[in-house]
Amino acid sequence: MIWKIRGREYDLSQRGWIMGVLNVTPDSFSDGGRFFSPEAAISQGLQMATDGATILDIGGESTRPGAHPVSADEELARVLPVIQGLRAAGLDCLISIDTSKADVAAAALDAGADIVNDVTGLNGDGRMAGVVADFRAGVVLMHMQGTPRTMQAAPDYRDVVSEVGDFFRQSLRQAVGSGIDPMSIAIDPGIGFGKTAEHNRLLLRSLAAFQSFARPLLIGVSRKSFLGWIAGSQRVEDRFWPGVALTCYCRESGARIFRVHDVKPHREALRTIEAIIEDA
């Protein structure tokens, strides 16, 4: 399983990657703005790299349920000092920009980012695909029903697995038709983005259905509310162990990239399961 990012090929066939979540927002559901200042975000990013993250996913606009959008200027003011500061500090792992705005993506890629993680699957900004293609960036195409502000109002599907698969087929055609190298694409079913707890469960038990796309599969379940449904508690701190368990389950089910807040334990769990299921 090869993922091509800015002209370089990475083999994910036997060893999965941890993507560390670095929210540079005042209203994240998961960390409450702890890393809103550039100094705090840079320090956290360097620690995540030390803990084993292969990618840092930096976002300046919250995509939690009910979140309101921010301007491109505000988003850039939040993320660019962090990207520049991490590169100045010698960070050598990959950086992903979590945005659906082409202007933000272009500036972030110019500042040292490598990947665009677009929660709209290139549907939020008509110029995004061109930016990804021009920079030869890696890109994550995520499925979301609705927008962050509306997505959890009343999610509804005839067949969630089939419909997410149809979305990937359409998005992949659109991306390749816009000049994006198909080898540069990863896919994300968007757990928690316009889905009920039952929709999430059905997607997770059906990850094999997405193997036919032959692209790296990214899963982001860390600290999400449906883990509380599993754990029987709505406290964020009680979602930790269910999330680690799902990293192991999803790796065995074919996922290769894991977007998490707590890098070290997820990386250790990932390497443990790989020692069992992969040939030496």
Q: What is the pLDDT of residues 36-82, one digit of tens each?
A: 789 999 999 999 999 999 999 999 998 776 667 899 999 999 999 99
DSSP 61-104: S--STTPPP--HHHHHHHHHHHHHHHHHTT--SEEEEE-S-HHH
Q: 13: which DSSP letter?
A: S
Does residue 32 register a pLDDT over 60? no
Per-residue pLDDT at 148: 67
Band of pLDDT at residue 199, cut at 50, 70 and 90: very high
pTM above 0.85, yes or no: yes
Look-up of token digits 């995520």: 142
Helix pair angle (263-277, 38-51), 10° resolution: 20
Q: What is the mean pLDDT of residues 10-24?
A: 96
Per-residue pLDDT at 225: 85
Q: If DSSP codes are grouped into helix, strand and coil, which group holds residue 138?
A: strand
How many angstroms separate the CA atoms of 216 and 207, rounded? 12
Q: Strand pairing partners for 9?
A: 4
How many angstroms separate the CA atoms of 152 and 223, rounded? 16
Structure tokens at 198: 């039952």
How many angstroms separate the CA atoms of 120 and 146, rounded? 9
Per-residue pLDDT at 156: 85
Domain spanning 16-277: CATH 3.40.50.11540:
no
User: Contact 97/109 with Cβ under 8 angstroms?
Assistant: yes
Does residue 280 register a pLDDT over 90? no
How many angstroms separate the CA atoms of 30 and 236, rounded? 7
Tell which wins on pLDDT, 223 or 112. Answer: 112
Q: Which residues are catalytic?
A: 224, 259
Q: What is the mean pLDDT of residues 236-251?
A: 92
Q: Is 270 left (phi over 0), alpha (psi -120 to 50) or beta?
A: alpha
Q: 52: which DSSP letter?
A: T
Kindly report, residue by residue over 93-126, the tens digit of the pLDDT: 999 999 999 999 999 999 999 999 999 999 999 9
On average, the pLDDT of the chain sits at: 92
Kindly report, residue by residue over 132-166, the tens digit of the pLDDT: 999 999 999 999 986 666 657 677 899 999 999 99
